[in-house]
Structure 1
């Protein structure tokens, strides 16, 4: 059984190995043992209550419980932009009109913004390509929503997610080539590396001071704006099914979409429910897949089962209970893995 759990220090090597498979563009998932160990230490301090709000974050790993293999990773930052600005481009529209000539036009422009300061951020989502089957992607991505619902008091009112943008066949970003490279004067991957190490002062020092009109960009750069990398498109669809939407913000490097929502508007806040565990070998009729999440913070685990709760109880097999580390009487949170289609 695959479960999603909080990371531990013993996971560093496996996490770095997984990061090697992610490729360019994932700022928060670099194959650097020191950086990943530091991030896991942040999780430890967050759970202990010793991390400042600006430093709080959670990192989850998908594990195959039968083998101990780590096949996926995802994270939540509690509140971005409090210590170092969380920059995006905001898409604004300006209208120009001449009454004398009877002409008017609308032009979109990109303005540097840190409007998303204080948002929780869903980040670092990556699933080993060999395991992108069945419902693994849904389990990994949506485990974070179960955590948000179970521990809502640990977060603010809004959440966002930066989605990986478009890269060409050489691994370069057309948007960066057309815009960012003229201001920062360094390679995209070097800029990305510096940000991943927390060295962000150059962004404020070199970023454009005035809005950039989108119509002035080359077509290949314009096509990148709000567009998701083909490998990340399924992840975007999963987030949108839970209530996140592209509003006005994109990534300042490769123009990938930044999805956002109020936490209290997410599907998990409406459709998940609490129930108590019963462990039994008794056969139950299979149902649509359901997410199940445990209620203890430090031992938080999420899994996928094909059994629905009934009258406030959920029947688990001994194997499922062992993987989730729960016992009879424990309280868990449950939700259907996919929204029901409206006829």
Structure 2
């Protein structure tokens, strides 16, 4: 059975092995022991409430309880850009017109921006290939929303998710080749690696502060602005189901879209139910359901068939054990799938 839980210090080594399979494009999950070790330490301190709320980085792992192997990872950063600059391009519009000549032209532009500084961020989503079956990927992604629903006070109202941008079959980024390379004079993977280990000062030093006209870029670079990597498309759709949307901000390197949402408008915040666990077998109409305990210091979650919306939710002895719960303890539930009458 699979379990999603708060990360621990014992997870560092398997997390590094997992990070080796991620590939380029995910700067928050590089196989660097120093970086990941520091991040896991921060996560452990976050769940223990041992550091200020704005510095917290909540990391979760999906564990296969049959062999205690890590199947996946995901995370939520409480706030971005407060200790180091957080950059995006904001897509804007400039109008050039001449009444005398009868010319009116709208030009898309890219503005280097820090507008999203301070937002909470969904990040570091990765599922091992052998576990990419059934509802596992959907559950791993949506688990973060149930955590947010339980602990809304720990996050800012605005929440964002940077999506991996489009890459060609050979792994190159048309947007980076058409723009970034002219300023950085290095390969995409090298730039990606520098940002992963926190070396971001070169962005401010080398990137132009003036608006950039999109029309000046090669056509293949223009075409991928706001487009996701082919393997990221399902993740984007899942986030949009939960209340996230694209508002014209993109990554400065690969032009992947930045999705945004308001915590108070997320499906999990609106539709999840705080109920009470009881030992037993569910009766009546059941649904595939995320069920979590309500403990920040030992957060745990399972996916099971349960009857939602009642005063109690029936769970097996094994499920209660995985949640570190007893009958009578509070739990929070959320249907895995968006109901047809749900308005997001």
Residue 285 of structure 1, CA deviation: 4.5
Give 1:123's aligned residue.
123
Give 2:81's aligned residue.
81
1:288 pairs with 2:283: no
TM-score by length of 2: 0.96
Give 2:300's aligned residue.
301
Residue 45 of structure 1, CA deviation: 2.1
Give 2:21's aligned residue.
21
Structure 1 stretch 101-110 or stretch 142-151: which is displaced more? 101-110
**Partner Cα separation in structure 2 for residue 100 and residue 165 of structure 1:** 42
- Once the two structures are superposed, what CA deviation does each residue of 1:84-141 show, in whole Å capped at 9, x if it has no partner? 1110000001122221222212111000001001100000001112211111011101
Does the aligned pair in 2 maintain the 1:19–1:31 contact within 8 Å? yes
Q: What SS class does the counterpart of residue 230 from structure 2 fall into?
A: coil
Residue 310 of structure 1, CA deviation: 5.2
Give 1:325's aligned residue.
324
Residue 49 of structure 1, CA deviation: 3.0
**Partner Cα separation in structure 1 for residue 96 and residue 304 of structure 2:** 56
Does the aligned pair in 2 maintain the 1:285–1:307 contact within 8 Å? no
Give 2:313's aligned residue.
314
**Partner Cα separation in structure 1 for residue 49 and residue 305 of structure 2:** 35
Does the aligned pair in 1 maintain the 2:9–2:44 contact within 8 Å? no
Cα gap change, 1:135/1:166 in structure 2, threshold over 3 Å: closer, same or farther?
Answer: same
Give 1:133's aligned residue.
133
Does the aligned pair in 2 maintain the 1:81–1:117 contact within 8 Å? yes
Give 2:173's aligned residue.
173
Alignment of 1:45-194 (within 5 A): 45-194=45-194
Structure 1 stretch 27-36 or stretch 44-53: which is displaced more? 44-53
**Partner Cα separation in structure 2 for residue 329 and residue 309 of structure 1:** 16
Residue 73 of structure 1, CA deviation: 0.6
Q: What SS class does the counterpart of residue 232 from structure 1 fall into?
A: helix
Residue 54 of structure 1, CA deviation: 4.8
Cα gap change, 1:283/1:210 in structure 2, threshold over 3 Å: closer, same or farther?
Answer: closer
- Once the two structures are superposed, what CA deviation does each residue of 1:12-64 show, in whole Å capped at 9, x if it has no partner? 11111111111111100111222211111011222333324453111110111
Does the aligned pair in 2 maintain the 1:54–1:83 contact within 8 Å? no
Does the aligned pair in 1 maintain the 2:8–2:40 contact within 8 Å? yes
**Partner Cα separation in structure 2 for residue 263 and residue 283 of structure 1:** 31
Q: What SS class does the counterpart of residue 231 from structure 2 fall into?
A: coil
Q: What SS class does the counterpart of residue 260 from structure 1 fall into?
A: strand
1:273 pairs with 2:269: no
